[in-house]
Amino acid sequence: MSVIGQEEGIQHGSMRGFRQHNRRKVPVTEACGCLQAKRDEDAAKSAARQAGTAPRAAAQHRWNGSRHSGTSRPEANTAVRADCPTEGCGQEAADRFPKQRGWVRVHVSGSTDPARDFCSGSCATYGIALAELRMDNAA
């Protein structure tokens, strides 16, 4: 049985009620309090973003080291994912060729990240993405 158009059972004055209005396609009015609940929710999210306490903003601040200059923190210069079990994957390239056959060497021109060797294409793709994030914007 569809609840479309049924106002009965909506929890007015809350965000849950606002979402119920939308799902049921019942017009939201000032009288029921759901519009004010939506405004309050939006204002709280905006304030959290401005203060840097929103979950996404907090993660961005941790990644950037609270700087927005486009450069990574020294602690963030880990080139390999934590879930790769292969020893040596993502290490700086020391000699001319990768240590093992089938490994991939990644060096992105203009990146502050040095050349690195990766065990597979998927790890190398991750390394390319990190190197691109660490592009030197001064040049």
Look at phi and psi of residue 62 and say left if phi exceeds 0, alpha if psi is from -120 to 50, else beta: alpha
| Percent of all residues in the chain with a pLDDT value above 70, rounded to a whole number | 73
Whether 128 and 82 share a structural domain: yes
Residues 85-128 have pLDDT tens digits of 888 888 888 776 666 788 888 888 888 888 888 888 888 888 89
| Percent of all residues in the chain with a pLDDT value above 90, rounded to a whole number | 21
Segment 3-18 shows an average pLDDT of 89
Residues 68-86 have pLDDT tens digits of 544 445 544 454 456 788 8
Q: How many domains does the chain have?
A: 2
Whether 21 and 56 share a structural domain: yes
Buried/exposed 77-107: b ≥16 CB within 10 Å, e otherwise: eebbeeebeeeebbeebeeeebeeeebbebe
pLDDT band at residue 48 under the 50/70/90 scheme: confident
Mean pLDDT of the chain, nearest integer:
79
In-domain check, residue 43 = yes
Segment 5-34 shows an average pLDDT of 90
Whether 44 and 20 share a structural domain: yes
Q: Of the candidates 86, 72, 82, which has an alpha carbon nearest to the alpha carbon of residue 130?
A: 72
Whether 108 and 58 share a structural domain: no
Helix axis angle, 15-24 to 34-51, nearest 10° = 120
In-domain check, residue 111 = yes
Whether 90 and 59 share a structural domain: no
In-domain check, residue 1 = no
In-domain check, residue 82 = yes
Whether 86 and 122 share a structural domain: yes
Whether 44 and 81 share a structural domain: no
In-domain check, residue 49 = yes
Q: How far apart are CA 115 and CA 111, in angstroms?
A: 9
In-domain check, residue 3 = no
Whether 80 and 127 share a structural domain: yes
Q: Could you say which of 29, 64, 99 is where a domain stops? A: 64
User: What is the pLDDT at residue 3?
Assistant: 84
Whether 90 and 60 share a structural domain: no
Supply the range of the domain harboring residue 26: 15-64
State the pTM of this model. Answer: 0.40
